[in-house]
Each structure stands twice: as structure tokens, then as C-alpha cells.
Structure 1
Amino acid sequence: MADGSLRSRGILLVGCLAQADGGAHAAGVVLGPGVLLSPDMQFYLLSFPLWLLFAVMVLGSALLTACASCLLGRYLPATGGDNALGLAIFQTVGAIFGITLAFTISEVYTEFEAAQSNVSQESNVLGTLYRLAIELPAPQRDELQAGLHTYAQRVVDSEWPAMAHGDHSLLARAALDRLWQVQREFQPSTPPQQTLEVRLYEQVRALTEHRRNRLLDSRSQLAPLMWALLLGGGFVTVAFALLLRSGHARSQALMSATLAAVIGFGLLLVMALDCPFSGGMHVPPDAIADTLALMPRL
């Protein structure tokens, strides 16, 4: 995770230190009547198909803006006065909002890629542990390999669907606890086995850390204040585009609708990338599933 992250992680970090199994969620912030920005609301919106969200946020906002422009053209016609001041304010607001939106998209995309990389590293650790288990005596070898298979299976089948809602799997946690138990029960009797014990400890610890990071990624979201800035900035920018009448009703309606569609698409992209394990654009468990399929041949 980058140090300059935009996300609010205070409470979530406490849950991470306790095996990331706490159910902490940042509280929502009300921004006017009927608008609630909360983790649960974002997870709820992302439960809808991506095409439906695109239709509502992009096409819907464009259609609504075009209708508003036509109504304003009828009841608030252009006066022919000097709009220099309004245009200057519109350019300033638009530039600030555009820079903020671009920076936010870049940030959430970077963290989306980091979450994807963390999953790949977790799958690599699983493969390494499975290979190290071959060097153990028969009882511990069989127990560790069976435990790794169970952990990977439960992560794919149980924990991944739970992470779509910011939750975790008790079954996956129990499987990880069993791996720690097998590691502690191994008593080395020779120098090579002592070296093996150290390597096993390091790999199980790395597996635990990757799981903690994965669960943290599934829960952490943009701060509500940041969402307030994005939504408010988008609304003000479109409002300026509507109120600065040009005298050409159709062209202004088309340009305003295009602006609203671009802003809606940007906000949709932020929302989809902000939750890397939820919605239509999510990190799949393919890396861990591939390692699970390869285990019998390792």
C-alpha cells in the first residue's frame, strides 16, 4: 500500500493486526437529503451488473443533463450579456475537478494493481510451501500438503465470495490456523531440518501477511469526504455548463450531456476500481486456483 493513499484505513488497520477478521467498517457521511456515502452502500451498488451501472451513471446522467439543458433553454434563454466572469469560474472549477478526478483514478488503479499483485504473491507462497513440505517426514508432509490444499480451496470457494461484501471466511481462517499448528508441531532433529523449520516459518508468516493485505484491500475504500468532493465537484461542473447559456440550445444540450457522460464514466471507474474484490471489475482468484490445480503435480 502506498503511503500517500487516499483511503481511510484507521479502524481497518486494527482489524488487520488481528488476522484481518474484524468486521470494522468506516461510518457513512450524509451529504444532504437521501445521499449516504458508506462502505455498505458502495458494496450494494457494485452488486449490480456493470452494464446496468454504466447505463444509469453514464447514459442516465447524459440524458438527464440534456433534458435539463432543454428546459433551461426554454425558461432561461440566453440574454446576450457578458459571461466572462461565469466562464472564468467555470474553467477554474472544471480544472480543479478534472485534476482531482484524474488523480483519484490513478490512485485507485494503482491500488487495484497492488491488490492483484498481492494475490499472485500469495499463490506463489502456497506453491513454495507445498514444495517445502516434500522435505518433511511423512506425517508432517501429508498434513501440511493437505492443509495447504484445504486452505487454497476454501479461499477460492468461500473467502472470495465473502470479500465481495467486505467480509472474510471463518473456514479459511481455520485452515490457516491449522497450517500454523503443523508448523509448530514440527520438531527438527538435524541441522538441515532446522533450516527447513526456519523456511517453513517464514513462508507461513508470508502467507498470513498476504491474506491480511488481501482482506484489508477488500474492505478499504475512498474516504467519504473524498466522495463528497468528487460528487459535489461533478455536480457543480455540470451545473455551470448548463447555466452558461450560449444561445444554441441543441449544441449546448449535446455538449453538456457529453460532459455529464464523461464525468459519470469517471466516477463509475473510481467506484469499480475502489473495491478490487467487488463488482464486475474485480480481481479473480485465478492465481490461487491455478496453484491449487498444480499442487498434485508439484
Structure 2
Amino acid sequence: MDWFHQLPVVWMGVIVFAGIAVATALIYCVVLALAARGWTPAFKAVSPVMLTPLAVIFGLIVGFLCAQVWNDGERANGAVIREAGALRTVLLLATIFPDPTEARIRALVRRHIQDAVDKEWPAMARQQTSLPTINAVDIEALEVILSVASRGEAQATAQREMISAFRTALDARSERLVISRAKINWVKWTVVLLLGGLILVTVALVHSDNRRTAAIAMALFAIGMASCVVLIASHNEPFTGEISVSPSLLLQVMPKE
């Protein structure tokens, strides 16, 4: 389903609405065809009260899934903000040191950001990231910062702050890579679609003696259900699709060559 999450929201909505519309029409036709063959008394015996618990369960699950995807999105965005802020702090503190040291630190920070944009972001979009490890660029950057010979209290303080800021950037990067694998699993999607289907069947049974009422009621719920599915699916994977966390903040921080 990776291709689905990478679609623009409009096309994602077209597919979801079309799929649910077909399923709704199929349920409508089957139930009313059975009603025409004498099943109406049995269908009408189904109490409309059955809709209440089904709707409550459906609403709760949709609410929990929305909370999950929005929380993942906020965590992903927060990780990128922290990483960008920490790298910016490193660059600002590097100005205290001699030009050769500053230039080397700026070059390593630029490589860190370039690797994140060119390599990590496409992998995160495909959810193909591995467990986060410190790469060669970050190791070299730490070695450079640690090897700086401080001259005076100001440079010693700046060196300590740079080490702390760079560790914050590495922690934020690790969190970003971990969050990129977050998504709603197939079991949760199955439950949502199954409950939605049960509600559509129940609506059709309750209104099986009136085709127009059944069509209107089923259409209204189908539209609401499709809207919920599109809402959740478009936010499902934090770094995938049209609504995703971009590396724009890191690019704003990246020093020029």
C-alpha cells in the first residue's frame, strides 16, 4: 500500500470514495433484493437501537486512530525542529573558533543535512530506514568538536555547548528515523472497514421497506466514513505523501558552500 500513501490527497480521496461507494451500492442492492423476496419482516425485526453501539464503537476507534496519526505527526515535526535548532546552535557557536575550525564544522553540518535530505528522507518516505546509528559524517563532526583546542573560558564554554547541541541533533535524528516507521497496521484498518460495513448493512436492514430512505441514510454514512478514512490515511505515515513532514527547516539551516 506504499503507492496509496504517496498519492496526492485528491486522488487518495477519489479511490476511497469510489471504493466505499461501490461497497455501499452492493450492500444496498443485495439487502433490497432479499427484501423483495420476502425477507422484509425479518429485516424490520432488527432494532434501530443496534446502530447506537456500532456507531459508538466506530467513532471511538476512528478517534483513537486520529489521535495516533496526529501524535506521530507532531512527534516527527518536533524531532525535525529540534534537529534544525540544535544544528543552528552548533553553527552559531562555531563562529567563536578560528576560521579553519569553523569552516570544517560548517562543512560537516552541511554534509549531515545533505545526507538527511538526499538519502534519509526518501528512505523514510518508503519506510525503509534501518535502526538509527551514528554515520561517518557525524562521527567526524564529533571528533572535530572534541579535538578543538580551547583558548580561554569563552571557547571552552562554547565547546561544551557545541557538544551538547550536537548530541541533541543526533538524538533528534534518531527519533526522526524511528518515527518514520510508525503507521496504522492492517488489523486496525480491517476493524474500521468491517465496522463501517456492519453499520451500512444495519441501516439497509432497518430501512429495507423504503428504498429512498435507505439510499439517503446509507449515502450519508458512506460519505462520512470515506471522509474519516481519507483523513486518517493522509496523515498515516508522517514522512510519506502530500501531507508529510518536509526537510525544509533543515535546508534553511544548511550553511552555504
TM-score interval (norm. to shorter): 0.7 to 0.9
Provide structure 1 residue ranges, at least 5 long, that are not aligned to the other structure. 1-40
1:252-289 residue CA offsets vs partner (Å, 9 max, x unmatched): 12321331232122122222212110112111222112
Contact 2:129 2:181 in 1 (8 A): no
Partners of 1:272 and 1:174 in 2: CA distance: 35
Letter in 2 for 1:86: S
Q: How far does the alpha carbon of each residue in 1:96-138 deviate from its partner, in whole angstroms, 9 at most, with x for none?
A: 1112212321332133123222212221212111111111223
In the alignment, structure 1 residue 274 sits paired with structure 2 residue 233: no
Distance change in 2, residues 1:97/1:259 (3 Å) = same
The answer as to 2:165 corresponding to 1:203 is yes
- For 1:244, which of 203, 206, 230 is the aligned residue? 206
Deviation string 1:175-228 (CA, Å, 9 cap, x unpaired) is 323322222322334332221221011011000011111111111223444334
Match of 1:20 in 2: none
2:11 aligned residue: 52
The aligned counterpart of 2:246 is 284
Distance 1:91 1:239, change over 3 A: same
Q: Give % identity.
A: 24
Match of 1:19 in 2: none
**Residue in 2 aligned with 1:3?**
none
Bigger RCO of structures 1 and 2 (CA < 8 A, at least 6 apart): 2
Cα distance in structure 2, aligned partners of 1:48 and 1:181 = 42
TM-score, normalising length: structure 2: 0.86
Aligned with 1:92 (options 53, 60, 65): 53
Q: Deviations over 1:59-112 (max 9, x none)?
A: 331243134313421332472568465322221111111122123213321331
Which consecutive aligned stretches of 4+ in structure 1 deviate over 6 angstroms post-superposition?
A: none
Once the two structures are TM-superposed, the CA of residue 168 in structure 1 deviates from its matched residue by 3.9
Contact kept? 2:6, 2:240, Cα under 8 Å:
yes
Task: Supply the distance in 2 between the matched residues of 1:272 and 1:188 (Cα, whole angstroms).
Answer: 50
2:69–2:183 CA contact under 8 A, matched in 1: no
Q: Given the alignment, which residue of 88, 108, 111 partners 1:150?
A: 111
In the alignment, structure 2 segments of 5+ residues that lack a partner are none
The letter for the 2-side match of 1:184 is L
Q: Distance in 1 between matches of 2:164 and 2:193?
A: 45
* Greater C-alpha Rg: 2
| TM-score, normalised relative to structure 1 | 0.75
> What does residue 70 of structure 2 align with?
109
Alpha-carbon separation, structure 1, partners of 2:136 and 2:211: 64
